[in-house]
Structures are given as C-alpha cells and as structure tokens.
Chains A and B, each alone.
Chain A
Amino acid sequence: MSVHDAIPMPEQRGGLSLRKRRLIIHASIFLGLIALWEICSRLGWLDPLFYPRPSSILHSFWLIYFQNANVWYHLYTTMVLVLAGFIGGSILGIGLGALVGFNAVIRRFLKPYVIVLEATPRIAVAPLLIAALGFGASSKIAIIVLVCFFAPFINTLSGVVNVNEERLELFRSLGASKMQTLRKLVLPDAVPVIMAGERLALTAALSGALVAEFIQRDKGIGSLILVYSRNLNMASAFACIFTLTILGFLIFRGMEWLDHRIAYWKNEAGMERVAAKRAAQMGDLNV
C-alpha cells in the first residue's frame, strides 16, 4: 500500500554515482538523436519540407513565442477550454458516479447505457454536438466534457461500490448513520481511485480540445497546428506540437502533485505532512 523509499543506488567509490552516469547517458542519447536528425536533413536524406530540422524548429519556437508572439493567445484559449471542459466533465462524472454508486436500482437500469456509451467512440459525436450547439466555445466545451466525463464516472462508481465489507460492518456495529458512513467511510475510501480517474480525464480533455479545434479551426493550438500544416510551415507546426508535449508533461506532473496532496495516505511525504498537522492541531494529549 505505502510508497516505500526507492532502493538506494550503490555509490561508485571515487567515480561518479550510478545516477549521474545514467543522466549523462540519457543526455548523450538525446543529443545524438537530435544531431542525427539534423545531419540527415542537411544531407538531404529527410525532406526538410515535411521533416524540418531541429535547428529550424528551434527558430520557429523563437518566432511564435517572441518575434510574432502569436502562440500565446491560442495557448491561452486552449487552456481555458481544457480547464472548463475538464471541470465540467469531472463534476458530471463524479456526481453521476456517486449517484449511481449509491443507488442499486439506478445502477441496474443504467448499466446497459453505460456499456453502450463505453463502446461508442465518444469523439464521433463531436460533429453532432457542433450541429446542435453551433460553432463557438460552448460546442467545444461540450466535446471535451463528453470525452473526459467517463473516467471519473467509472472510477467514482467503482470506488463507491467496492467498499470493504468488514469496514461497513464496523460502522454498523458503531451504530453509524447512512450519512456518517458515507462521509467518514465511503467517500474518503473512494478518493484515490477517483483521483486516478481525474488524471485520465485531464489527459483526455487535452486531446478533446485539440479535436474540437481541428473541427472548428477559429482559434486555439489545435487550429494553429492545422493552419501551419496546410501552409506547409512544418517547423512551426512542430514547435506547436512540442509545446503540447511540454504542456502535457506539466499537466501530468500537476495532477500527480494534486493526487499526492489529496490522497495523502498513499505516500510517505503526505503521511508525514498530515501527521505533523494533526499533532499540532491536537496539541498536548497527556492526561
């Protein structure tokens, strides 16, 4: 259950530590690949039109971020979209998941629809949503809500349903009310699995936003990539894609951080932090 400390790396006496040596090897491989790409492009083995060289991608980064500075607006637009869709999808997913989880009757009759919905690629519904809601932010957000609602829904549902029988019996033996059992047992118990669903949802939200922007290419990083590709400005398109890579990484790390904060009992640092907090709150416990 608990996250144990990593096995300490054996230190090399006199030389570099294993960790440092590995870091150097990683860096060399990365730089080697970049160099290989650049050389292949310069020698004419890779068509620079479709596979721009690293140096020109780097130049494009400078163009779109500083010289033209046009990427900021689109990045901001996409981020707002992702956040709005993610929050909407989360509220809907967690809310419905909890509702369905607590009510066996609803669960029974909703199950076939859940299975159908799970089997359908939800992105396929995107054009329909645009037809129904029209062009604009609302249909884009609706698409994101649709693609990122499912993971929190399923995870909340399973988290709420799979409550440990023995713990339930403990709460019964203590004479706890339904509401107390819910607040003190079922919900906290479901938190880690709900957070796992939220991680998946945020990744899905980013993909959903891009698809939405591919369809409605008025603004956002997705439409920017589309425009650059159409104009065969591949270096700038790549710069946008790598921007998304960095964004995706930051989102992943951010969610990981949030997960560690919220599901604190799943990691040593979190337990230490909360234990210290509780000790301070309770103060002197000597009789």
Chain B
Amino acid sequence: MNVMASQPSKTDSVVGAQGLGKTFGGGAVVALEDASFDIRPGSFVSLVGPSGCGKSTLLRLIAGLIERTSGNLQVHGKEVTDPRTDVGMMFQKATLLDWRTAVENVLLPTEVSRAVTKEDQKNAAELLRMVGLKDFLFAFPSQLSGGMQQRVALARLLQTGADVLLLDEPFGALDEFTRERLNVELMRIVKEVQATTLFVTHNIAEAIFLADQVFVMTPRPGRIAKIVDVPFDRPRPLSIQTSPEFNTLVAEVRDILGEDH
C-alpha cells in the first residue's frame, strides 16, 4: 500500500482509485500497478517521476482514453468507462486545428457536444482574454508562438466546462521562461475556475511549486511511491522556490526517486 500523509474521507474525493492497475501487451508491460488515492475537490496534484513511471498512463486512465486492467477508478463517485464531459485533458503539444482561428479552436469542445450559441462565443472570447490573448481572438495557430498556442489550448480546456483538468506536461516543449510564466498563470486560473487539477511533469521543482499534493512515481513497474503534501497556500509567488522549506521538499522527493533522477 501507499504511504499517505493524510487519508481524506471518501465523500470528499473527486477522483478516487483503489488498487488501480494497467498492463500492456497482455500483462507483459506493467505501466501502472496498485495505485490508490483520493483527490480532494479543488486541489492541485502533480504527478512527477522519470519516463516509464506510469504518470501519463494514470492521466489517460482518468481521462477514459484507455481501459484499466485492475482495480477501481471513480470521478465524482462514478466509475470511469469512457471519455466524459466533466473531465478535460490538455496535451504536451497544443494540438490546435490549423484551419481554425483561436476562438474557433476554443469553441471545438462545445461544437462536439451541441450547437454553438452567441453566449458560447462570448465565453470562448472571455477565456482567451483570461489566458492573455485578447488581441488574438481571430489569429490562426501558425501565427502564434508555441507559448501562445498552449494558452489557446488551455482556454479550450476550460471551455469544456470540466471541473477535473488533466494536464500532460502541457508546457514541457516550451522554453524555461515561458514555462515559468505559464505555470504562475495556470495556478491563478485553476483557482479562479475552482477546478481540480492533475498535472504531469518530470520537473521536481515545478511539481512542488504548483501542487497541494505531489504523487512521486517510480518506474518498472510504474507506481505511486509516495504522496507528498505541500503545505504552502496557493497561488504562491515564484520566490517561494528559494525558501528552505521548499528545498527540503525538493530533497525529499529527490530522495524517493533515487540516484538515477
């Protein structure tokens, strides 16, 4: 079983898993083994670990993109079987549609589920303003920088109206400065929309900086080695990363991940 700092009550859980596992190739590859956790509403969880630790697999399981091979998994108390509207996902690449303007890209999730109204269009524009793209509502993806494309993808994620947001290394392909800025904005935005967020990264400092809880994951087989609580209030300033408490947490996580990280 996993060592847990605090066991939240069952009723207080947005995403819950008991003994969750996923194997590929008929059991030949164990991507995720025996994951158990409860995620509190509105909390921010980082999944950190080296490649092959099952962090992306866990995210895809919650998104309903792949099927589990063992255990149980619920979102809002309901077993996950398929992709659903209360869970939204964002990828490492912006995956925007080149032939659509920013606002039309943001409207895609709405279009898929129903007819788009004037209110939806206004909402999409408002989300683009929220991510700092008020002057780029009708820009095409090829006219935007990598960071701006990810901002559009974030607005599109919020347009789904999902209150569980899954982010798979969303800013991993961007440069350090852009990534840091977007992380700070992400923290503000998810607080504003009161979403429960799962954030995959392989950067320890980033994982701690953003989260209330860090799932430290180790490979072969992929599993949650430890759940580390981060005691700072959110949103928090970048400068917190230089504090001794922060660095103690970094050291703790690094210690769990072992020498090879």
The chain A residues found within 8 Å of chain B, CB to CB, are 1-2, 164, 166-167, 169-176, 180, 184-185, 188-189, 191, 264-265, 271, 274-276, 278-279, 282, 285-287
Contact = CB atoms under 8 A, between A and B. Distances in A.
A275 B101 contact: yes
A285 B101 CA distance: 14
Contact of B104 (A185, A278, A286): A278
Interface stretch (B10-18, B46-54, B88-96): B88-96
Interface of B: 63-65, 82-85, 88-89, 91, 93, 95, 97-99, 101, 103-104, 108-109, 111-113, 121-122, 124-126, 137-140, 142-143, 160
A276 B137 CA distance: 11
Contacts of A180: 112
Given A275-B101, A278-B104, A285 B137 contact: yes
Given A1-B98, A170-B89, 11 more contacts: A1-B142, A166-B91, A166-B95, A167-B97, A172-B83, A174-B108, A184-B97, A274-B101, A275-B139, A278-B104, A285-B125
Given A265-B98, A275-B138, A278-B101, A174 B125 contact: no
Contacts of A188: 97, 99
Contacts of A279: 137-138
Contacts of B109: 174
Given A174-B112, A275-B101, A285-B122, A265 B91 contact: no
Contact of B83 (A164, A173, A276, A287): A173
Contacts of B122: 285-287
5 contacts: A1-B98, A167-B95, A184-B97, A184-B111, A189-B97
A185 B97 contact: yes
A102 to B, nearest CB: 19
B65 A172 contact: yes
B101 A2 contact: no
A162 to B, nearest CB: 14
Contacts of B124: 285
A250 to B, nearest CB: 28
A173 B103 contact: no
A188 B137 CA distance: 21
Contacts of B89: 170, 173
B113 A175 contact: yes
B143 A287 contact: no
A176 B137 CA distance: 24
B91 to A, nearest CB: 6
Nearest to A276: B138
B83 A166 contact: no
B140 A285 contact: no
Contacts of A285: 103, 121-122, 124-125, 137
B67 to A, nearest CB: 13
B240 to A, nearest CB: 32
B108 A164 contact: no
Contacts of B138: 275-276, 278-279
Nearest to A275: B138
A271 B140 contact: yes
A205 to B, nearest CB: 27
Contacts of A1: 98, 142
A115 B136 CA distance: 46
Contacts of B63: 173
A1 B124 CA distance: 26
B93 A175 contact: no
A55 to B, nearest CB: 51
A80 B113 CA distance: 45
A164 B99 contact: no
Nearest to A280: B138
A116 B11 CA distance: 65
A184 B65 contact: no
Contact of A174 (B83, B93, B99, B142): B83
A282 B121 contact: yes
B142 A164 contact: no
Nearest to B82: A175
Contacts of B112: 171, 174-176, 180, 184
Contacts of B82: 175
